[in-house]
Structure 1
Amino acid sequence: MAEAHLPEEIIVNILSWLPVKSLIRFSCVSKRLHFIIFSDPKFARSQFEAACQQKTLSRRLLISISTDAPQLESLDLQTPSFGDDSPVRKLNFPLQQPRGSVRLLGSCNGLVTFCLGGEFFYIWNPSIGFFKQLPNPGLSLNKKDQIYYGFGYLSATDDYKVFLGSLNWTDNREEVEILSLRTHVWTRIQMPGDFFSFDQGILVNEALHWLSDELEHEIDVFDLAAEEFRKMDRPNFHQLDHLINLGVSFGGCLCLCGHPRAAYDSTDFWVMREYDLSAESWTKLFNLKLSNPPEVLWHYGDVYVMECCYVNEIRLVSIDHKGEEKLGMYKTEAKCLYMIPYEESLLWINQ
């Protein structure tokens, strides 16, 4: 009996429904499979869309660690052994002999943007090793009193954009630049005078979101498609009694967490199921009680990781739908500088 062979288009279709980790292993089977998995943009896109459709995207946390030389770690956010060392990967830095700290600017569709030493900008896919230097903007992240940034994808134009803003309090100089990865050109835009944000913008609905000044009742929003600033209301709780943080759910919804001042054992979780700008769009999910709360709250350090959202705070905590604490801690060997969640994908930029 003659041996039967499946047509290549059927094999490729089957492969597109497999996770990235399995596909990377299968790339060693043949040169043809290696080419399809790592070099075919149509296959990379179909695999990512299939994973989104099945809700099987593998999510990890990328962590930049401060040592003599930059170090990166990747933590699995969905492993059953969450909290021990087994889901942690030590990543090879994509640059040889890098100098300066690595500031993670944002992630989207498995691609990560970062700045090295405050001067040089890159895009990277940690899953497949794709790496590319971006044009340098007209501003530097060094010696700035306030900086904010973000990264996102626009489906209508098939374009990725990098947002970079800074405010120098000495001369009150405000600068905002946007990079389109289709044109490789930075464009300077005008920043409104009531924009008081900092650090990484949270990407939801093709817009970046930052918490504004603590005394304000709003969230600063930048629409990447229209390249316009606007405001969004926070939930209706007493602003002055809460320290709050912004995140995004695994389902792609904007999330917000807050706890009373000097009371770190109780955290309220809110979610915006239907994207809108009004306070009425927020829904309180639950209140989480920590069994072993910290004595001091640090803005940077470990990170809460929730089934519903992540928060730049104290420790890693996994919770279920009932809002119960499930698993333990993650510690780095050195000071953690920056961290962002990302999805595993085969996507890369071919411009």
Structure 2
Amino acid sequence: MAASLPLELITEIFTKLPVKSLHRFKCVSKTWNSIITSTKFIKQHLRQTLILNTNFNNIIISSNNSIFSSAISAVKLRFDIINHPLNNLFHRPAVDIIESVHGLLLIADYPKQTLYLFNPSNKTQRFVPPAPSGPSRKPGFGFGLVDVFGFGYDSVTDDYKVVRLVQWFDSGLCRETSVYSMRNDSWESVNDKTVPYSLQQTNAVAAQEKLCFVVSSRDSKPVLKCFDLRTSTFSLVNHPELDSYDFGKMTMSLRNLRGCLCLLMNYQEHKVDPAKAMGDPLYNRQFLYADVWELNESKWVKLFRIRKNEIHKDCMYLRLVTYSKDMKSVLVEVDGIWFGWYDLVSNRIERVPVQGLRVEDSPYLASTYVESLVSVENNKVVSKKEGTRPKKTIEKNDFLSSGFKLKL
């Protein structure tokens, strides 16, 4: 069959196949392997995958020092553990999944001192060297107050980039911005000409080749600060018209849905008088309702509202995960503990059974990704004994993404 079909037709068929099948087909013949591993085909397959999976088809979760993955399903979520690069570190740190782009994950240890680019579909990985400290950090100056990252794709240069923002103790404002280029395997500083702002302890969300960070202006109101990966410039976007400015009773999260930036604003109330509450003030809040907005051509459009009586159970907050293929339901994460499909027609939520995750490992942080053939390999490995320092170069033949409280 392979000999009777023209290569153009074989290639077209391959672009519609899942990554797991293509990995097996590489062993069929040298011709098939050459097709599947070519840069041109990898881009064709990625474009086709993004067209067919606008809302992504997999969930990726970090829990303590483990990463789990599940295909998205309306019936049951079955999570399997994934071996990831940070497992090679001697101290096995907690894992933070910063963002997923084109099937590539940017992951970091809990203090965000060690970063890796990792594709769980083809197991390729790249150690991201530490960003150089800027002039605002001096000997004995202390440590950064907030250190946040973003990860995205620049179509102009066909490059994947990591952006790092740092805020120091001296002023309480962001003082440094640097960008890592995967193509150049190096960092460079970026001049931020926008007004001063304070960072929130949350990572950026990538949408339409921009990285969107939630920051606070001088009057403590939330603002979106967007970094354009193509021009390396910042812009500010105000939040939509909100029902209340009592930010102590609100949580806010961003998500890329259908390729657009979406904002979910949780409105909450105190369970008891704050003066009488014991323990962490966060746990003295309960969910009232949530509004979901979409940023469309610099304008916020309200999509829908989820109310307390539609959840059927007390909770503190919701996070968006993804839409269903028919766009009639949205998968939500509740308190980082359980998942449910919210029906946009009946306005009811149905809990989804989960396998492979333990409740004691919650709260979970769920993201979505598509399987891809894109490789990030740069042949650097990390020794378990030596921590984050690359040990040697190796050759591989394998083939090739309290107050105002924020949660992403």
TM-score w.r.t. structure 1 length?
0.81
Unaligned runs of at least 5 residues, structure 2: 135-141, 270-285, 324-329, 379-408
Q: 1:199 aligns with which of 199, 202, 206?
A: 202
Specify the alignment match of 2:294 in structure 1. Answer: 271
| 3-state DSSP of counterpart to 1:12 | helix
Specify the alignment match of 1:63 in structure 2. Answer: 61
Q: Does structure 2 conserve the Cα–Cα contact (< 8 Å) formed by 1:303 and 1:312? A: yes
| 3-state DSSP of counterpart to 1:47 | helix
**Residues in 1 aligned to 2:4 and 2:45: alpha-carbon distance in whole angstroms:** 22
| Distance change (3 Å), C-alpha of 1:119 and 1:217 | closer
**Residues in 1 aligned to 2:303 and 2:12: alpha-carbon distance in whole angstroms:** 41
Superposition deviation, residue 108 in structure 1: 0.8
Specify the alignment match of 2:340 in structure 1. Answer: 317
Superposition deviation, residue 338 in structure 1: 4.8
**Residues in 1 aligned to 2:312 and 2:259: alpha-carbon distance in whole angstroms:** 29
Q: 2:94 aligns with which of 97, 101, 108?
A: 101
**Residues in 2 aligned to 1:180 and 1:207: alpha-carbon distance in whole angstroms:** 15
Q: Which of structures 1 and 2 has the bigger CA Rg?
A: 2
Query: Which range moved further: 175-184 or 256-265?
Result: 256-265
1:286 aligns with 2:305: yes
Count of residues in Structure 1 that have an aligned counterpart in Structure 2: 333
| 3-state DSSP of counterpart to 2:44 | helix
Write out per-residue CA displacement over residues 53-106 of structure 1, whole angstroms, 9 at most, x where no aligned residue: 33467432322221xxx3211132x21323x4x2x1211123553232322222
Specify the alignment match of 2:403 in structure 1. Answer: none
Superposition deviation, residue 342 in structure 1: 1.8
**Residues in 2 aligned to 1:143 and 1:342: alpha-carbon distance in whole angstroms:** 33
Q: Does structure 2 conserve the Cα–Cα contact (< 8 Å) formed by 1:265 and 1:291? A: no
Unaligned runs of at least 5 residues, structure 1: none
Q: 1:105 is aligned with what amino acid?
A: I
Q: Does structure 1 conserve the Cα–Cα contact (< 8 Å) formed by 2:106 and 2:151? A: yes
Q: Comparing both structures, which one devotes a greater share of its residues to strand?
A: 2
Specify the alignment match of 1:231 in structure 2. Answer: 236
Specify the alignment match of 1:7 in structure 2. Answer: 6
1:258 aligns with 2:265: yes
Query: Identity of paired residues, percent?
Result: 23
Specify the alignment match of 1:220 in structure 2. Answer: 225
Specify the alignment match of 1:176 in structure 2. Answer: 177
User: In angstroms, what is the RMSD of aligned CA positions?
Assistant: 3.2
| Distance change (3 Å), C-alpha of 1:148 and 1:309 | farther
Specify the alignment match of 2:368 in structure 1. Answer: 341
**Residues in 1 aligned to 2:54 and 2:290: alpha-carbon distance in whole angstroms:** 28
**Residues in 2 aligned to 1:137 and 1:309: alpha-carbon distance in whole angstroms:** 36
1:161 aligns with 2:148: no
Superposition deviation, residue 187 in structure 1: 1.0
**Residues in 1 aligned to 2:203 and 2:42: alpha-carbon distance in whole angstroms:** 27
TM-score w.r.t. structure 2 length?
0.71
Superposition deviation, residue 164 in structure 1: 0.9
**Residues in 1 aligned to 2:333 and 2:178: alpha-carbon distance in whole angstroms:** 26
Q: More relative contact order in 1 or in 2 (CA 8 Å, sep 6+)? A: 2
**Residues in 2 aligned to 1:218 and 1:311: alpha-carbon distance in whole angstroms:** 24
Q: Does structure 1 conserve the Cα–Cα contact (< 8 Å) formed by 2:104 and 2:118? A: yes
Q: Does structure 2 conserve the Cα–Cα contact (< 8 Å) formed by 1:72 and 1:93? A: yes
Q: Does structure 2 conserve the Cα–Cα contact (< 8 Å) formed by 1:51 and 1:57? A: no
Q: 1:90 aligns with which of 81, 93, 97?
A: 81
**Residues in 2 aligned to 1:312 and 1:256: alpha-carbon distance in whole angstroms:** 16
**Residues in 2 aligned to 1:3 and 1:107: alpha-carbon distance in whole angstroms:** 35
| 3-state DSSP of counterpart to 1:73 | strand
| 3-state DSSP of counterpart to 1:318 | strand
Q: 1:220 is aligned with what amino acid?
A: K
| Distance change (3 Å), C-alpha of 1:128 and 1:3 | closer
| 3-state DSSP of counterpart to 1:44 | helix
